[in-house]
Amino acid sequence: MTGDVLIEVQNLSIGFTGRSGKLLPVLRNIDLGVRRGETVGIVGESGSGKSTLALAMMGYLKHGLRVISGQSVFDGRDLLTMPSRELQRIRGGKIALIPQNSGQSLSPNLRVGAQLTEALALHGKLAPSAFSARVIQLLQQVRLPDPEVIASRYPHELSGGQQQRVAIAMALAGEPEALLLDEPTTGLDVTTQAHILELLSDIAVRFDKAMIYVSHDLGAIARVCSRVVVMYAGEIVLDGDATTVLTNPGHPYARGLLASIPRRGNPDLPMALEGRPPPPGGAGPGCSFVDRCAIAEAPCRAERPGLQPLLAGGRVRCRLPERAESIPTKRDGKPASAGGSFGEPLVRLSNLAISYARQSLVDQLLGRKPQGVPTVDRVNIEIRQGEVIGLVGESGSGKSTILKAVAGLVGPASGEIAYDKSGALPATVEQRRPEQLREIQLIFQNPDESLNPRHTIGQILAQPLQLYFGLSGGALRERSIAILERVRLGAHYLDRLPSQLSGGEKQRVAIARAFAAEPKLLLCDEVTSALDVSVQAAVLDLLDQLRRDNGTTYIFVAHDLAVVRALSDRVAVLYQGRLCEIGPAAAVYSRPCHPYTEALLGAVLEPEPGARPILMAEDNMELSPPAKGCPFQRRCHRKVGSICESTTPPQRDAGAEHVIHCHIPIGELTSAQTVSALGNAGRPHVQ
Amino acid sequence: MLRIFIHRLLLGIATVAIVSGIIFAAVEALPGDACTAILQRDASGERLANCRRELGLDRPAATRYAEWAFGAVRGDLGISAHNNKPIASLVGDRLKNTLLLAGCSLALGIPLALFLGVLTGLRRDKFSDLALSTIAIFAMTIPEFVTATVLIFVFSIWLGWVPGIVTASASSPLSAFFPGIVLPVIVLTMVMTAHIMRTVRSSVIDVMSSDYVQMASLKGVPYWHIVFRHALPNALLPAINVIALTVGWLLGGVVVVEKVFNYPGLGHYMIDSISDRDLPVVQAIALIVAAAYVGVNLAADLLAMAFNPRLRTLKARSP
């Protein structure tokens, strides 16, 4: 049930003074009302102004920002002009924030209990004697096990999921009328995210609060919200009920965004939304989306469209909402480069084990190996020439560690990495031959950190070209330009610095640098996870194109199963550094599958209204992999019995190179409930 | 916690032991020894050999090192070559004076530095921050002897408020150093305050723009409550290490300041001993200064651990 309007943002524009001295708007003429009991999602890519809008709803402006026009009214009063003493009463007491990164948003020097008590004391609805009981009750409400223990912990002693729950409990402490969620699950593992979203939608229903959910992730929004607002370049471009916005939106941007999201069940590449939004103050007199719009006409450039009501309900900022519906929201079915026949094996990981345990001084003197369970163990993977193999798993699954071992950044504790025809690769970069170094290239997750900020793009590309091919002068320049064009950037990028490029362009430069070495094997470590979805689609498309042109072999590491699906021929699922399942992508993403794969797939959030994830055992903090038995034994929802704790699971052959490491026979793994059936089963089951 | 403490303590003792070896070897490598210093021009032939036999200097270096090291552990640092008195009491007097000077400077400087650091950090880029930060840079960069000379000129020669040099001898009681100690304390305070203040300032700025401070303010926590409860306990942690370095610097004998004000502290004595070629004393002072550095840093690490729950409790999540 929705009630009267609680939060009302009226014609709000917020900006900052740019280096030129001009006032650059971050938000432009925002009009948005949120009613009691309503759950509104605000979605947009980085730089769209969604977080600025959310914080403005609490009367908070980040350093350097100021109000150009408008109001942010809460319960009849403008928060942006309110004296700070009164604001303090409203913040936390009437409207509370659940922040993005709880690990950093909880004060590191105070115990969880003390921080919750502080919130209770500030908004004094209880007698101090009742505080400690209420703290326990709040921690129970967010479904934390052992609330007494958690209350006595410091924030850093909790897992990411537990920290997020504490932040939610803290927001609930002041019994606010509205909850503001700023990317509350970004940065959490998919399985943890599923738990938190489940909790949040439960809170929304149970406490009947107004909820504003800010996220870049349409999947998460679909899970929690009944109404969705789409932001682009500081404007609201679309506002409507969740089902319409997520399935058949009336704005070209929203449609392009939907099409750019890779989906678990679809093996095709997502469609890229080319171009990028105008910077603050950079929008022309017309529509801000006009440069990327497929149906733009001359009048779209001349005049900025207003936010007009739609017949079917909701509002849209587009002159041609009817024509927008001709833009596809699903992919046109461009498949990733076909798998099938591949060449000779290029890389073979045999019985690979990697340990980060450091030798103590005593161990070194006695020549003892470090004690403890290795981070990665018993990994056997054969990768053939021209193949793309995806490694998936949550954080701590060892996928990046394996990549580092192949790159020669960490040495294996035992086992070997055989490469091409030359046999075992030397363990570290220092011992490898120049030819091997050239042939194996690595692309990192975050181009901001992997590109030297003081080198121009030309200098960055020149390094591999000089080092491996001895190019210089005109030949070097010519080659650099050719490589830039291959990643769809032009010669004019040569003299720019990384800071002058957008995130997607920077990642293209990183890809160009790797391809400049003409590698045989490309190691991709979460290369798209720092990018916006629309940009991610373009990068995936580029990687696919380059692979087709050059016959390069990829090891593609990502936590996002849908992204891996879109690019990979084969997929290996890892849990705590042990292989759970490996096989052709289509086979791994369907039945039969390992219980962990099942849980992972079930936790993937699709931007479909009504989709519900399956939840597996609580996101316990696991310090190290179990010494014996199956790596997944502690969280498995299909545990057979003590055999799972004592014996390493056998390799079960599911046909066509599909291998599952599990004690459950293939037949039974097939016959279980399917993920999609679970997805429609209404309330998910929690083991 | 106790295990870490014992571990660090053992490591500290090992460090001092290694340093003592290096000091001994360095002094050994110098031309001449205690006897050449005592005998000066007569240091040759029979007399030199006799003196060496008397002082045991003809024995192998390893034996003499062991003897020196065990003596030092028992508090016996040997005999000064200059005036044949036990080094322990000579150095002890100077150490006491240096501790007085360091103690006064720290008592004045640390609270002042913390206050100014927090103030400038909170008032970032405002006038008070700019003014104080600029003064701090001047205080840091002007050499001590310049500041000292200017202060002597103004306060003792011109205004005549305090004496310009200390006239008390090394073994006088502590009260004899007042008011002569005032100017050296001010000079030292100026230098150290600037260093600590700048560290605290940048750390306060970092913490005040952190997510948890923003969160606290969005939770409705009043400003001063945020500052004292959420921000400062975290912002002051980096100051501990800078303070430890400063304490080490003060205990190591602030040679220039002690010399300018004729203050009979360790640094002053060190310089005198070097020019007298009184090697046993030089050796003893070097050892004491090294031990003081190690001790102060150990104390700083333990303090940081005590105030930082992230260091104190076990790291919960594996990397």
Does B221 contact A118 at a Cβ distance shorter than 8 Å? yes
Residue A175 contacts B, CB cutoff 8 Å: no
**Residues A430, A378 share a domain:** yes
pLDDT > 70 in chain B, percent: 97
- In sequence order, the β-bridge partners of residue A241 are A227
**Residues A495, A363 share a domain:** yes
Say which residue, A159 or B38, is predicted with more confidence: A159
Domain membership of residue A164 (yes or no) is: yes
Domain membership of residue A190 (yes or no) is: yes
Domain membership of residue A450 (yes or no) is: yes
Size of interface A-B (CB pairs under 8 A): 93
Q: What angle do CA B161, B166, B168 make, to 5 degrees?
A: 125
Determine the residue type at A258: L
**Residues A155, A188 share a domain:** no
Best mutation target, B215, B240, B310, to test chain A (most A CBs within 10 A): B215
Does B223 contact A84 at a Cβ distance shorter than 8 Å? yes
Domain membership of residue A236 (yes or no) is: no
CB contacts of B218 in chain A (<8 Å) are 55, 58, 60, 91-92, 96-97, 99
**Residues A166, A190 share a domain:** no
CA–CA distances in Å: residue A7 to residues A31, A36, A202, A204, A528: 11, 8, 22, 16, 36
**pLDDT at position A594, please?**
87
Q: How far is A433 from chain B (nearest CA, A)?
A: 31
**pLDDT at position A335, please?**
60
Tell me the C-alpha distance between A401 and B99, whole Å: 52
**pLDDT at position B61, please?**
85
Phi and psi angles of residue A126, each rounded to the nearest 5 degrees, phi first: -130, 155
Handedness of CA A526, A532, A536, A538 (dihedral sign): negative
Does A157 contact B313 at a Cβ distance shorter than 8 Å? yes
Residue A386 contacts B, CB cutoff 8 Å: no
**DSSP letters for B221-255:** --HHHIIIIIIHHHHTHHHHHHHHHHHHHHHT--H
pLDDT averaged over consecutive 10-residue blocks of chain A (687 residues)? 81 88 89 90 88 91 88 91 90 90 88 92 85 92 86 87 90 90 83 84 83 89 89 91 87 88 80 80 84 84 86 85 78 56 82 76 64 80 90 85 88 85 82 88 88 92 91 90 86 88 87 91 88 84 87 90 88 89 86 83 77 62 70 78 82 83 80 43 34
Helices (H) and strands (E) in chain A, counts: 27, 23
Residue A179 contacts B, CB cutoff 8 Å: no
- What length does chain B have? 319
CB contacts of A104 in chain B (<8 Å) are 210-212
**Rounded to 5, what percent of chain A is helix, strand, coil?**
35, 20, 45
Determine the residue type at A612: R
CATH number at residue A203: 3.40.50.300
The domain in which residue A407 lies consists of 345-519
Which of A445, A371, A442, A367 has the alpha carbon at shortest distance from A405? A442
Q: List all residues of chain A from 41 to 60 with a beta carbon under 8 Å from chain B.
A: 55, 58, 60
The three-class DSSP label of residue A185 is: coil
Residue of A nearest to B222 (CA): A88
Retrieve residue B27's tokens: 């002094």
Beta strands in A151-226 (DSSP E): 178-182, 210-215
**pLDDT at position A421, please?**
81
Q: How far is A159 from chain B (nearest CA, A)?
A: 7
Q: Position of tokens 């410091």?
A: A154
Centroid of chain to Cα A459: 31
Residue of A nearest to B219 (CA): A92
**pLDDT at position A684, please?**
35
**pLDDT at position A612, please?**
67
- pLDDT tens-digit map of B226-250: 999 999 999 999 899 899 989 988 8
Residue A154 contacts B, CB cutoff 8 Å: yes
Does A109 contact B234 at a Cβ distance shorter than 8 Å? yes
Q: What angle do CA B285, B291, B295 make, to 5 degrees?
A: 145
CB contacts of A84 in chain B (<8 Å) are 223
Does A356 contact B210 at a Cβ distance shorter than 8 Å? no
Does B212 contact A174 at a Cβ distance shorter than 8 Å? no
Phi and psi angles of residue A544, each rounded to the nearest 5 degrees, phi first: -65, -45
Retrieve residue A356's tokens: 């980060």
The CB-based long-range contact list for B26-33 (8 Å cut-off, 24+ gap) reads: B27/B279, B27/B282, B27/B283, B28/B61, B30/B279, B32/B277, B32/B279, B33/B57, B33/B279
**Residues A158, A181 share a domain:** no
Q: How far is B67 from chain A (nearest CA, A)?
A: 30
Residue of A nearest to B212 (CA): A105
Q: Would you say domain B97-276 falls under CATH 1.10.3720.10?
A: yes
**pLDDT at position A622, please?**
54
**How large is the average pLDDT for residues B188-206?**
91
Domain membership of residue A483 (yes or no) is: yes
Domain membership of residue A238 (yes or no) is: no
Q: Which of A640-649, B81-90, B310-319 comes out lowest in average pLDDT?
A: B310-319
Does B223 contact A107 at a Cβ distance shorter than 8 Å? no
Residue of B nearest to A155 (CA): B310
Tell me the C-alpha distance between A256 and A328, whole Å: 8
**Residues A126, A41 share a domain:** no
Tell me the C-alpha distance between A453 and A500, whole Å: 10
**pLDDT at position A675, please?**
42
Residue among B212, B223, B229 whose CB faces A106 most closely: B212
Q: List all residues of chain A from 57 to 76 with a beta carbon under 8 Å from chain B.
A: 58, 60, 63
Residue A83 contacts B, CB cutoff 8 Å: no
- In sequence order, the β-bridge partners of residue A420 are none
Beta strands in B117-209 (DSSP E): none
Tell me the C-alpha distance between A495 and A586, whole Å: 43
Q: What angle do CA A211, A212, A217 make, to 5 degrees?
A: 120
Does B221 contact A88 at a Cβ distance shorter than 8 Å? yes
Residue among A55, A92, A159 whose CB faces B220 most closely: A92
**pLDDT at position A34, please?**
92
**Residues A152, A85 share a domain:** no
**pLDDT at position B228, please?**
93
Retrieve residue A376's tokens: 């990665």
Domain membership of residue A308 (yes or no) is: no
Domain membership of residue A630 (yes or no) is: yes
Cβ atoms of A75 and A94 closer than 8 Å = yes
**DSSP letters for A471-526:** --HHHHHHHHHHHHHHTT--GGGTT--GGGS-HHHHHHHHHHHHHHT--SEEEEES
Residue among B220, B310, B316 whose CB faces A122 most closely: B220
Residue among B215, B223, B318 whose CB faces A624 most closely: B318
Last residue of a domain, one of A206, A225, A244: A225
Residue A624 contacts B, CB cutoff 8 Å: yes
Q: How far is B175 from chain A (nearest CA, A)?
A: 42
Residue of A nearest to B313 (CA): A157
Best mutation target, A105, A158, A159, A404, to test chain B (most B CBs within 10 A): A105
Determine the residue type at B305: M
Confidence of residue B165 (pLDDT cuts 50, 70, 90): confident
- What end-to-end distance do the CA atoms of chain B give, in Å? 21
**pLDDT at position A636, please?**
79
Residue A252 contacts B, CB cutoff 8 Å: no
**Residues A622, A507 share a domain:** no
Cβ atoms of A194 and A142 closer than 8 Å = no
Residue among A55, A91, A105 whose CB faces B220 most closely: A91
Residue of A nearest to B317 (CA): A623
- Chain B: residues touching A (Cβ < 8 Å): 209-223, 229-230, 233-234, 307-310, 313-319
Residue of B nearest to A55 (CA): B218
Best mutation target, A88, A105, A107, to test chain B (most B CBs within 10 A): A107
Residue among A92, A104, A356 whose CB faces B211 most closely: A104
**pLDDT at position A200, please?**
86
**Residues A468, A616 share a domain:** no
ipTM given for this complex: 0.77
Beta strands in A529-619 (DSSP E): 553-557, 570-575, 578-584
Cβ atoms of B258 and B97 closer than 8 Å = no
Residue among A89, A154, A156 whose CB faces B220 most closely: A89
**Residues A351, A209 share a domain:** no
Residue A365 contacts B, CB cutoff 8 Å: no
Residue of B nearest to A110 (CA): B230
Q: Position of tokens 């008070």?
A: B128
Does B209 contact A60 at a Cβ distance shorter than 8 Å? no
CB contacts of B222 in chain A (<8 Å) are 85, 88
* Number of structural domains found in chain A: 4
